[in-house]
Amino acid sequence: MQRIERLSEADAPQKTQDLLTAVKKQMGGVPNIIATLAQSSAALGGYLGFAGALGGGTLSARFREQIALAVAGANRCDYCASAHTALGGMQGLEAEELDRNLKGRSSDTKVDAALRFASRIVSLRGNVTDEDLAAVRNAGLTEEEIVEIVANTVLNIFTNYFNHIAGTEIDFPVVNTAAVEAA
């Protein structure tokens, strides 16, 4: 059950309407998380700004979706697992890889190291070890990529926690993180 209400474009202040219009234009619609974040123009603008900035970084859209899946799996966020499974599929990720990514793993060695690192960030609340950093460096990730992995992980922690608190209604094909973890 949705615990924080979605805000319709018509009911939103002008500043928020402009943000919602931009999302609708880019995505073809307004996902429930965005409509719920719209309760605060500042929160929605902050989220969209951070996501947009990371979209211009060195990590590909596909790689960012894989990080989002690992974080959603680690935090058991069914909304984000559902959304990023759909979006990851649009980036050409196969079903088996999407399942691995939700478990913080990948068939690609470099991506696997990154997803393990992202999962460690979540489980250790950012207090990763020197060995954790050495593992991503040894996998060939640059300092810039490592910083962006941290940034993408943190952005996804925000959306995971927001969805847990808001009870955001899933508007994508549902992925149950508990079932994926058990498989």
183, pLDDT greater than 70: no
108-158 confidence digits (pLDDT tens): 999 999 999 999 999 999 999 999 999 999 999 999 999 999 999 999 999
Whether the per-residue pLDDT at 181 is higher than 70: the answer is no
Q: What is the mean pLDDT of the chain?
A: 96
**What confidence score (pLDDT) does residue 179 get?**
83
Kindly list the domain boundaries of the chain, sorted by start residue.
14-55, 61-182
- In three-state form (DSSP H/G/I as H, E/B as E, the rest C), the secondary structure along the chain is CCCCCCCCCCCCCHHHHHHHHHHHHHHCCCCHHHHHHCCCHHHHHHHHHHHHHHHCCCCCHHHHHHHHHHHHHHHCCHHHHHHHHHHHHHCCCCHHHHHHHHCCCCCCHHHHHHHHHHHHHHHCCCCCCHHHHHHHHHCCCCHHHHHHHHHHHHHHHHHHHHHHHHCCCCCCCCCCHHHHHHC
For residue range 63-98, list pLDDT tens digits in order.
999 999 999 999 999 999 999 999 999 999 999 999
pLDDT of 48 higher than 80: yes
Spell out the CATH class of 61-182: mainly alpha
Residue-level pLDDT at 180: 74
